[in-house]
Structures are given as structure tokens and as C-alpha cells.
Amino acid sequence: MLARNCMSKRLVTVGPEDSIADARALLVKYGIHHLPVVKEQRLVGIVTDRDVRSAPAKAKSVAKIMTSKPLVIGPDTFVDEAARQLRRHRIGGLPVVEDGRLVGILTAADVLDAFVDLSGVRETTTQIIIAGAKGSKAAAQVCDIVRKSRGEIKWLQRDAKDPSRLFVRLKAPRADDIEYARDAAGFTVDAIIGPSRAASR
């Protein structure tokens, strides 16, 4: 998923010469935590609710407390890369800029919503835990089994503590068919958890 698919397009901005009081009022009015600072349609900074709360008494304008030259991304940046940037720099939002123009803002909440959508948890899906999935080709074999059973993988992740285990979320007409096919391929299905089924072996 790309930033353009999940970024907030409702842009609330301030100018560098706007007062801190005005910035505070906008943050409260719209229930947001980040305000891109724009001058002549160009992004020149970003100000957060934390910046506003910790502003020194003598500071009057947004320019005095904003972060100049903030980290930005393009609309075609992948969400996982945006998540890495947010985590690496310990920030809560990334302005999205295209051809020098501010087109959106991607917040940590937007990224979390995107990962929820990608995981398939909003849909009726089945979760399967597979053991014995050793080797670099194991995940590809699992994907092939699901495809041949007319299923669709929504999420596949290796267990960080045991690389031979795979956590799979999928949509399929019959989870049992996939279970039998995986057993035949030499994998062990540790558990199948569906909308109306919770079975373990």
C-alpha cells in the first residue's frame, strides 16, 4: 500500500507568521496533532501540539517553534517505509509532498490503520499457524498451496523466535482443503482459527 492510499488529505495548515495561539486553536478545533507550515504554497516547516504546549512565553509566531525543513515523503512511498521513518526518527507524522506541493500528511494512526487493512482483520478470514516451514522456499510453497485451493493470502509472517513457523491469514472457501494440502507437502498445521472455528492440534 502506498502513502497516497492512506494519507490524510484534509489539510489544515498555518503560515510561519501566524500566531501560536492560532495554531493551538486549529489543533484543538480539528482534533489533530500536526500542522504543516506553508508559505506561498510551499512547505516550510511543521508544528506539533507538543511544540505549541512547550513554546516559550516570549515566542509569538509559529516560525519561532516550528521544525524547519521537516522530513517528508512522496505519495508513492510504501507504507512500511513510512513506518520505518516514523519509528527511526521518533516522529508522529510525515508531510506528503509531490512536485514541491503539499498533498497530504501521513500520521502514525494512518499507518496503523493501513496495516490493519493489509492484515485482513477487517474481513472474514482464517488464521493458520504452520510449523516445519524451513528454508527460503517454504513461504512460496505455502502461497502456492493457498492459490491452488482457491484461497487468497492476506498476511504472511515468520515467527521471529522460531523461523520454521509461519503465521498466515487468508480467505478461502474451505480451510480444511488447505490444511490437508499442507500436511501432504510436509508442513504441520499447528492451529486453524476461523470466524466460527477455533481448532488446534
Q: Give per-residue pLDDT as tens, 142-153.
A: 788 777 777 777
Q: Which among 31, 30, 24 is positioned nearest to 47, based on CA atoms?
A: 24
**pLDDT greater than 60 at residue 60:** yes
User: Residue 105: beta bridge partners?
Assistant: 8, 95
d(CA 108, CA 93): 6
Q: Give per-residue pLDDT as tens, 11-47.
A: 999 999 999 999 999 999 999 999 999 998 889 999 9
- Residue 177: per-residue pLDDT: 59
d(CA 172, CA 161): 28
